[in-house]
Amino acid sequence: MIDLNGISYYYQGTDESLSRQALDDINLTINSGESVSLLGANGSGKSTLLKLLSGLIFAEEGSYAFDGEAITKKGLSVPAFSKRFHQRVGFVFQNSDTQLFCADVYDEIAFGPRQMNLGEEAVKERVSGIMETMELDGFEHRQPYHLSGGEKRKVAIACVLAMNPEVLMLDEPLNGLDPRTQRWLAELLVRLNEAGKTIIVSTHDLVFVHEISKRAVLFGEDHRIVADRVTDELLGDMALLKEVNLVDKYYHHHPGEGHNHFHDHRY
């Protein structure tokens, strides 16, 4: 479904000497129905890759194809093509405030289906179903900017799911969430993947990665992919995780029966 070849991306400064590389020669294929975690230290390129996969930014070098079609700035300038692509690929931003702009929660979730030209009865039915799934019953008339961080995250995810995308991408989704909401989100992503959705998550939380994904892609601080493995195998390679500055010497795991428990004893 997703095929990247030789992708490089630079954040441009005021002159060429201030440009900063964020991705360097990325080659990656993700098949339909996979659950993939993007791992790496802060600034390694995970968030940049998700923005590129979502069609928000475009690489200076290399190519990106989605389901066999080239994704380019020129291509996404065509309204029909752009609309079709963004219906299939949903992106949840790291900061939920970036995503929420309507007067109440109902209109936030209804915005996407309305852009798909669904009738109001169909919109109402879809919003109601999504709100039940997201445990947002009773939030219809709440103002998004009055919600807690966890509630905003639920609404942001609901807005994307209301479009019924085939691919769901989330950038550091645990930020600002309490432990109970983190557990709820992990279980939701597993259910969505089991239902056939492709899940791609950027995170540095190894416990979360272990729970939600079967495959892990690890970025080094040089903005390249240094490993692409089955999740359990990658998480078991402590030497590599330390090398890329994702964990330190105090971080270790306890093998269990069929799974690992990760612990950080720094505090």
> Does a structural domain hold residue 133?
no
Per-residue model confidence as pLDDT tens digits over 45-94: 999 999 999 999 999 899 999 999 999 999 999 999 999 999 999 999 98
Q: What is the DSSP letter of 17?
A: G
Q: How far apart are the first and last CA of the chain?
A: 42
Q: Tokens for 201? A: 């998550």
| Type of residue found at 204 | H
pLDDT band, very low/low/confident/very high, at 176 (cuts 50, 70, 90): confident
pLDDT at 193 over 50: yes
| Range from 62-71, 135-144, 210-219, 226-235 carrying the lowest mean pLDDT | 135-144
pLDDT (average), residues 161-182: 90
What is the percent of the chain where pLDDT is above 90? 66
pLDDT of 229? 97
pLDDT of 175? 85
> Does a structural domain hold residue 148?
no
pLDDT at 112 over 70: yes
Q: Tokens for 171? A: 């950038």
Label residue 81 left, alpha or beta by phi (over 0 means left) and psi (-120 to 50 means alpha).
alpha
* Residue 222 and residue 43 in contact, taking contact as beta carbons nearer than 8 Å: no
Please list, in sequence order, all residues whose beta carbon lies within 8 angstroms of the beta carbon of residue 203, skipping any fewer than 6 positions away: 37, 38, 39, 46, 172, 173, 174, 209
pLDDT of 257? 43
Instruction: In whole angstroms, give the CA distance from residue 60 to residue 24.
Output: 10
Report the SS3 class of residue 22: strand
pLDDT band, very low/low/confident/very high, at 19 (cuts 50, 70, 90): confident
> Does a structural domain hold residue 161?
no
pLDDT at 36 over 60: yes
Q: Buried b / exposed e across 35-57, counting CB within 10 Å, b at 16+?
A: bbbbbbbeebbbbbbbbbbbbeb
pLDDT (average), residues 216-234: 96
> Does a structural domain hold residue 8?
yes
CA angle in degrees (0–180, nearest 5) for 256-240-219: 110
> Does a structural domain hold residue 112?
no
More confident site: 160 or 13: 160
pLDDT at 266 over 50: no
Structural domain of 54: 2-94+169-264
């078991």: which residue's tokens? 236
Number of domains observed in the structure of the chain: 1
pLDDT (average), residues 216-221: 96
pLDDT at 255 over 80: no
* Residue 246 and residue 41 in contact, taking contact as beta carbons nearer than 8 Å: yes
Strand ordering across the sheet containing 35-39: 89-92, 167-171, 198-202, 35-39, 215-219, 225-230
pLDDT of 234? 95
Say which CATH number the domain at 173 has: 3.40.50.300
> Does a structural domain hold residue 114?
no
> Does a structural domain hold residue 124?
no
> Does a structural domain hold residue 192?
yes
Provide φ and ψ at 75, rounded to 5°. Answer: -65, -40
pLDDT of 11? 87
pLDDT (average), residues 122-127: 92
More confident site: 168 or 247: 168
| Range from 3-12, 108-117, 214-223 carrying the lowest mean pLDDT | 108-117
pLDDT (average), residues 172-200: 92
